[in-house]
Amino acid sequence: MWDSTVLFAFGLTLFAGLSTGIGSALAFFAKKTNTKFLSIALGFSGGVMLYVSFVEIFIKAKDALVAELGYRGGYWATTIAFFGGILLIAIIDKMVPTFENPHEMAGIEDMVEIDEIEEHLKEMEEKQVSEHEGKRSSSLYRMGIFSALAIGIHNFPEGLATFTSALKDPALGISIAVAIAIHNIPEGIAVSVPIYYATGDKKKAFYYSFLSGLSEPVGALVGYVLLYRYFNDLVFGILFAGVAGIMVFISLDELLPAAQRYGEHHLSIYGLVAGMVVMAVSLLLFV
């Protein structure tokens, strides 16, 4: 059950999920987030995920299902599973209220900068906190907690996507894990900053940010425990096609809009194209 391939896939999923902690650390140790770099990195992640979804994952899913169900039936099953993955992640996204959804929030630079946090904390130390300030801190703390919960919900299917990809093709799994890790960094910032702003406690902010990323390896673990007895070409094909749909939705709904929000439009597009090129070259190297 737990052979080296499974452990490797689980390790990749753990790495991708816990990169929310990297975002939290960047928020605390950098005076100001490098939004241009973040824009390029998010565009790069989106390019990797879009290219690999359409060029590699969808095709592999189709090949597996065609071998099991014939060309017509396999193609239909692949297409249905692909849009089923999109529908699943869209429903999950819709279930989280807009204000509490980190994917609907303003960019981190629009919300608050770290130097503003420190100034606010000094003011709280120098004078007694008024009722209004207390309510604002409570609201920010609630925002951070619900952001952590929302990210945890979103990351659950992402964990299954990374894990399944790594099981099928370890090289492909590495590429997807890196792309999702990049995408999780600003999510870590979205969780930790409001909690730190509200409490002044870096450890607590980092803890909740770190915890939100754990849902990815949990998603991988639950999916594997439930499905490992049934892992065959048919199940892999359906899962793979669903994974492609999930990754396309994440790229179009989260990564690319966030990339443009953090920086210039062209920077996000350059990052997108660079991600596609790197993904294409890496796949060619393994042909």
Binding residues for Fe(2+): 155, 158, 184, 187, 216
**3 state SS of 129:** coil
CA distance 15 to 162: 10
Of 214, 193, 203, the residue nearest 33 (C-alpha): 193
For residue 170, the one-letter residue type is P
**3 state SS of 30:** coil
Question: What is the rounded end-to-end Cα distance, in angstroms, of the chain?
Answer: 29
Burial 195-212 (b: 16+ CB within 10 A, else e): bbbbbbebebbbbbbbbb
CA distance 40 to 33: 13
List, as one string, the DSSP characters of 65-113.
Answer: HHHHH-HHHHHHHHHHHHHHHHHHHHHHHHHS-GGG-TTTSPPHHHH--
Binding residue positions: 155, 158, 183-184, 187, 216
Contact between residue 52 and residue 251 where contact means Cβ atoms under 8 Å apart: no
Binding residue positions for Zn(2+): 158, 183, 187
For residue 8, the one-letter residue type is F
